[in-house]
C-alpha cells in the first residue's frame, strides 16, 4: 500500500471544493477501499439506456497503480445518490479510486468516494458536479448556512429564510440571500433550520431565491440527520 500511496501522491491535485454531504476520505482510506487505482483519460461520456438517472464514461487506462484493470473501462459518474454524482470532461486525465458493484461486477466500476474518488491529474481545476435531474432547472447552486427564518404573520404572506452564502458552486450571488421557504404552493415549500448548513439548488423568480424543486432542492450538508419535518422521498 505504501508504494501505491507514493505513486498517487506524485500525481495528486488537491481540491478544496465541497461535495454535497459526502465525507472526503483520506488518501490512505481511498486506496484501501478501492479494488483498483489507476490513471486514465476520459474518451467518451455515455448515458445509461435503461435508466436515465445513471451516467457513465469510457476511460482509457494509462497506468495501473493497484489491481488488474483492462485497457478500457466503464465508470459510473451518476446514479441514484445525487451526492455521489460528479462530472468528468472528455479528453481529461484523472486518478481513479474504483471498485466493482456486487451485482454485474463486469459491467462497470464506481468511485469509492464520489467526486473525491476521481482527482484531476492534468493540472486543470476540478469539474463542477452535474445537476441531478430533479433540479436541472437550477440557475444557482450554493452551500449556505441559515442565519434566520422570518415567519409569515398569516397564510396570505410568504415565509423567507436569510441564508449566508458559504460557497458558490454555480451562478453569481451576494454574500447573503433571501430564500422563499413557504409560499402559496405547498409543493414548493422547503424545511430548514437556523444554524444548519445546506446545499441549495435555486432559481431566481423575483427579488428572492426559490428551491428548484421544493424540499428536494435543499440538502443538509452538515453531517446531522435531516430535519424532522422533512418527509422521505
Q: Quick one: 159 and 187 in the same domain?
A: yes
Does pTM surpass 0.75? no
Q: Quick one: 152 and 110 in the same domain?
A: no
Residue 225 has a pLDDT of: 54
What pLDDT digit, counting tens, does each position of 37-88 carry? 999 999 998 865 554 557 889 999 998 889 988 889 999 988 766 667 788 8
What is the chain's alpha carbon radius of gyration, rounded to the nearest angstrom?
20
Q: What is the DSSP string of 73-138?
A: EEEEEE-S-GGG-----TT-EEEEEEE--SSSTTT-EEETTGGGGEEE-SSSPPPPPPPPGGGTT-
Q: Quick one: 144 and 88 in the same domain?
A: no
Residue 3, C-alpha cell as written in the block: 508504494
Residue 174 has a pLDDT of: 93
Q: CA torsion sign, 156 to 180 to 220 to 149?
A: negative
Beta bridge partners of 45: 57
Q: Quick one: 115 and 173 in the same domain?
A: no
Residue 230 has a pLDDT of: 38
Q: How many other C-beta atoms lie within 10 A of the C-beta of residue 232? A: 4
Last residue of a domain, one of 91, 120, 149: 120
What is each CA distance from 209 to 75, 126, 203, in whole angstroms?
A: 35, 27, 6
Q: Quick one: 82 and 9 in the same domain?
A: yes
CA distance from start to end of the chain: 40
| Domain that residue 105 falls in | 2-120
Higher per-residue confidence, 161 vs 47: 161
- 27 DSSP 8-state letter: H
Kindly report the CATH number assigned to the domain that includes residue 140: 2.40.50.120
Amino acid at each position: 500500500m505504501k508504494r501505491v500511496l507514493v505513486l498517487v501522491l506524485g500525481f495528486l491535485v488537491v481540491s478544496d471544493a465541497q461535495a454535497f454531504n459526502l465525507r472526503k476520505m483520506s488518501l490512505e482510506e481511498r486506496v484501501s477501499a478501492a479494488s483498483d487505482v489507476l490513471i486514465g483519460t476520459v474518451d467518451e461520456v455515455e448515458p445509461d439506456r435503461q435508466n436515465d438517472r445513471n451516467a457513465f464514461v469510457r476511460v482509457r487506462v494509462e497506468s495501473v497503480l493497484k489491481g488488474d484493470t483492462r485497457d478500457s473501462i466503464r465508470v459510473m459518474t451518476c446514479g441514484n445518490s445525487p451526492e455521489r454524482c460528479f462530472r468528468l470532461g472528455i479528453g481529461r486525465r484523472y486518478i481513479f479510486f474504483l471498485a466493482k458493484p456486487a451485482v454485474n461486477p463486469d459491467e462497470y466500476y464506481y468511485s469509492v468516494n464520489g467526486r473525491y474518488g476521481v482527482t484531476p491529474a492534468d493540472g486543470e481545476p476540478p469539474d463542477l458536479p452535474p445537476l441531478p435531474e430533479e433540479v436541472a432547472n437550477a440557475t444557482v447552486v450554493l452551500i449556505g448556512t441559515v442565519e434566520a427564518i422570518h415567519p409569515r404573520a398569516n397564510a396570505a404572506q410568504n415565509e423567507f429564510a436569510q441564508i449566508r452564502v458559504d460557497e458558490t458552486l454555480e451562478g453569481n450571488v451576494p454574500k447573503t440571500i433571501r430564500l422563499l421557504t413557504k409560499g402559496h404552493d405547498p409543493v414548493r415549500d422547503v424545511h430548514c433550520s437556523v444554524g444548519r448548513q445546506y446545499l441549495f439548488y435555486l432559481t431566481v423568480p423575483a427579488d428572492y431565491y426559490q428551491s428548484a424543486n421544493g424540499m428536494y432542492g435543499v440538502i443538509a450538508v452538515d453531517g446531522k440527520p435531516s430535519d424532522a419535518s422533512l418527509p422521505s422521498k
